[in-house]
Each structure stands twice: as structure tokens, then as C-alpha cells.
């Protein structure tokens, strides 16, 4: 992981896209294990993880999956972090913490601003109400999280809007899926590279 803006590229399914994200400087790459056009199985993810150097965090994305499913998929794939889109249950997080994974809690930004650590997570992801939809939320209204918190901005980011979004919200990092695709579920290597370049523009 680098000290500059942390960048996660999510929903990768192919060797070409993993290699592109790593070479372009991604800090984390995500594999979706929930219902989605980006879903892959544990065997495919394990093969892709073997291509990823140690300094890049491999993340499994789950939505309201039973604990035993999360544990089984994460173990078989060999990922190092789990991104949880529900349930917001402290016991669920405490259980997964014993597995040694970095815990990323995804929450929709609303009237109540979640705090990183409320569920024992290591990183908070503030997302649009429908994850993976490519629809941005209004990040201009008020500070999404306290300065210094380890939080990722996600939801409808693209190479064209990521720089403004970072300037407006000062997140610890950013996360993208739809905005680097040429069609739903199909990544575009040129967009992956363009996203990382734009996000880091004027950043250390």
C-alpha cells in the first residue's frame, strides 16, 4: 500500500484487467462474490490473486452473505481483505476479525454519517445506495467523514469526475467499478489507467 491516495479497482474478472490495474498503480483490486454481472467464483479469483504482488491488497466483495460463505470463499480464493455490504452486525465483524482479513465496511452515505471503526472495521467505504450501480451520490453537501479517518469514496466515480470528487471530500482513498467499464461487467484497460492517472493528478 502506498502513502498517497489509496486506489481500489473493483469487479475484475480477467488476467488482462488484473495486470492492467497492478501496472497502473492500483493499491487494491476487488473480486465480487455476490450476485452481480461482475461475479466470479473462488477458483477463478484464486488464479487471479496469484498474479498480484504482495503490496497490492486483494479484496473479496460480499453482500449480506452468511458468515460461513464469506469465510469459505475468502479462504479458497486466498484474498487478504473482505468488503462487506451488510449486515451491520458487530458480532459478524468480530467473527471475521479472527480470520486475519482486513475488514472493509461499506455503508451508504445518508443523514447519519458512519464512523470508521464503529463495527470494528479497518476501512470504511462510503458508497451510493445501490452498490456497483455506477450512480454517484451528492458528495458536495457536507464532509462525508472526519479528516484522518481511513475511508474510501465510491459510487459513480469515473476518470472524468474522480479528481473533483477527491478535491471536494478529501477521502483517504477511492474505489471504482462501473466507471472503468466499456459495458456492464466488462472492464476497459484504457479507462482503468485513465482513472488511476486522474485520481493521482496533483496528489503526492
Ligand X SMILES: O=C(O)c1ccccc1N[C@@H]1O[C@H](COP(=O)(O)O)[C@@H](O)[C@H]1O
Asked if 173 contacts 8 with a C-beta cutoff of 8 angstroms, the reply is yes
What is the gyration radius of the CA atoms in the chain, in angstroms?
Answer: 15
The residue among 35 and 204 lying less far from ligand X, judged by its C-beta, is 35
Query: Does residue number 123 form part of the binding site for ligand X (CB under 6 A)?
Result: no
For ligand X, the binding residues in 37-66 under the rule CB under 6 A are 38, 61, 63
Query: Residue 92: helix, strand or coil by DSSP?
Result: helix
Query: Residue 191: helix, strand or coil by DSSP?
Result: helix
C-alpha–C-alpha distance, residues 196 and 25, integer Å: 7
Query: Does residue number 131 form part of the binding site for ligand X (CB under 6 A)?
Result: yes
Cell of 16: 488482462
Task: For the chain, give the number of residues.
Answer: 204
C-alpha–C-alpha distance, residues 44 and 13, integer Å: 8
> Is 203 an annotated catalytic residue?
no
Query: Does residue number 175 form part of the binding site for ligand X (CB under 6 A)?
Result: yes
Q: How far is the CB of 126 from ligand X (least distance, A)?
A: 10
The alpha carbon of 65 is separated from its chain's Cα centroid by a whole number of angstroms, namely 17
> Is 167 an annotated catalytic residue?
no
Query: Does residue number 10 form part of the binding site for ligand X (CB under 6 A)?
Result: yes
Query: Does residue number 198 form part of the binding site for ligand X (CB under 6 A)?
Result: no
Site string for ligand X, 72-91 (x = CB under 6 A): -------------x------
Contacting residue, 20, 26, 34, 116, with ligand X by CB under 6 A: 34
- Where does this chain touch ligand X (CB under 6 A) — which range of 18-26, 141-149, 152-160, 166-174? 152-160
Contacting residue, 78, 86, 87, 134, with ligand X by CB under 6 A: 134
Active-site pick, 17, 27, 116, 127: 127
Q: Count the neighbouring beta carbons within 10 Å of the beta carbon of residue 187.
A: 24
Quote the DSSP letter at residue 65: -
- Where does this chain touch ligand X (CB under 6 A) — which range of 68-76, 107-115, 132-140, 196-204? 132-140
Query: Residue 126: helix, strand or coil by DSSP?
Result: strand
The alpha carbon of 192 is separated from its chain's Cα centroid by a whole number of angstroms, namely 14
C-alpha–C-alpha distance, residues 23 and 8, integer Å: 13
Contacting residue, 26, 32, 153, 196, with ligand X by CB under 6 A: 32
Residues labelled catalytic: 10, 127
Give me the residues that bind ligand X (CB under 6 A), please.
10-11, 30, 32, 34, 36, 38, 61, 63, 85, 125, 127-128, 131-134, 154-157, 175-179
Amino acid at each position: 500500500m502506498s502513502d498517497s491516495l489509496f486506489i481500489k479497482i473493483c469487479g475484475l474478472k480477467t488476467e488482462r484487467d488484473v495486470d492492467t490495474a497492478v501496472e497502473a498503480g492500483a493499491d487494491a483490486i476487488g473480486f465480487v462474490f455476490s450476485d452481480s454481472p461482475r461475479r466470479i467464483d473462488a477458483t477463478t479469483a484464486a488464479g487471479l490473486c496469484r498474479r498480484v504482488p504482495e503490496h497490492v491488497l486483494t479484496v473479496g466483495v460480499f453482500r449480506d452473505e452468511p458468515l460461513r460463505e464469506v469465510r469459505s470463499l475468502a479462504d479458497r480464493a486466498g484474498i487478504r481483505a473482505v468488503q462487506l455490504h451488510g449486515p451491520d452486525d458487530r458480532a459478524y465483524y468480530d467473527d471475521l476479525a479472527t480470520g486475519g482479513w482486513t475488514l472493509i465496511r461499506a455503508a451508504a452515505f445518508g443523514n447519519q454519517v458512519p464512523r470508521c471503526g464503529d463495527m470494528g472495521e479497518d476501512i470504511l467505504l462510503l458508497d451510493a445506495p445501490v452498490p456497483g450501480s455506477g450512480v454517484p451520490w451528492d458528495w458536495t453537501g457536507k464532509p462525508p467523514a472526519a479528516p484522518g479517518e481511513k475511508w474510501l469514496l465510491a459510487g459513480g466515480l469515473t476518470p472524468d469526475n474522480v479528481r473533483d470528487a477527491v478535491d471536494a471530500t478529501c477521502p483517504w482513498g477511492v474505489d471504482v467499478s462501473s466507471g472503468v467499464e466499456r459495458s456492464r461487467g466488462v472492464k476497459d484497460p484504457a479507462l482503468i489507467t485513465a482513472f488511476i492517472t486522474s485520481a493521482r493528478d496533483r496528489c503526492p
